[in-house]
Amino acid sequence: MENTKPLDMLAIGDIVIDAFIRLKDAEAYCDLDQEHCKLCIRFGDKVPYESVDVINAVGNSANAAVSASRLGLSSALSAVVGDDQNGKDCLASLTGDNVSTDYMETDPKLPTNYHYVLWYDVERTILVKHAPFERHMPKNLVAPKWIYLSSLGENTEAFHHEIAAWLKEHPETKLAFQPGTFQMKLGKEKLADIYAMAEIFFCNIEEAQRILSITEMDAKKLMDMLAALGPKIIVMTDGIKGAYAREANGTYWFMPIYPHQPIERTGAGDAFESTITACLAMGKSLEEALLWAPINAMSVTQFVGAQKGLLSQEKLQEYLAKAPADYQPRKI
pLDDT for 33: 75
34: left (phi over 0), alpha (psi -120 to 50) or beta: left
> From residue 63, how far is each of 163, 179, 290, 307, 308 by CA, in Å?
20, 14, 18, 6, 10
pLDDT confidence bin for 266, thresholds 50/70/90: confident
Cα separation, 49 vs 193, whole angstroms? 45
pLDDT at residue 1 in the model:
40
Residue 211 carries which side chain, given as an amino acid letter?
A: I
Dump pLDDT digits (tens) for 17-38: 999 999 989 999 998 777 789 9
Query: CA separation (Å) from 157 to 34, 60, 104, 126, 190?
Result: 35, 18, 19, 23, 8
- Per the CB < 8 A criterion, the answer to whether 117 and 125 are in contact is yes
Give the 3-state secondary structure of residue 70: helix
pLDDT of 140 strictly over 50: yes
Q: Tell me how far apart the alpha carbons of residues 181 and 208 are, in angstroms, rounded to a whole number.
A: 12
169-201 pLDDT, tens digit each: 999 999 999 999 999 999 999 999 999 999 999
Q: What is the pLDDT of residue 187?
A: 94
Supply the pTM of this predicted model.
0.93
Output the average pLDDT for the chain.
95
Give the chain's domains with CATH numbers: 9-16+57-113+132-331 (3.40.1190.20)
Q: What is the DSSP string of 232-253?
A: SEEEEE-GGG-EEEE-TTS-EE
Please check whether residue 309 is in contact with residue 269, taking contact to mean a CB–CB distance below 8 angstroms.
no
Question: Distance of alpha carbon 26 from its chain centroid, rounded?
Answer: 28
Mean pLDDT of 130-144: 94
How far from chain centre, in Å, is Cα 61?
Answer: 6
Q: Are 78 and 35 in contact, with CB atoms under 8 Å apart?
A: no
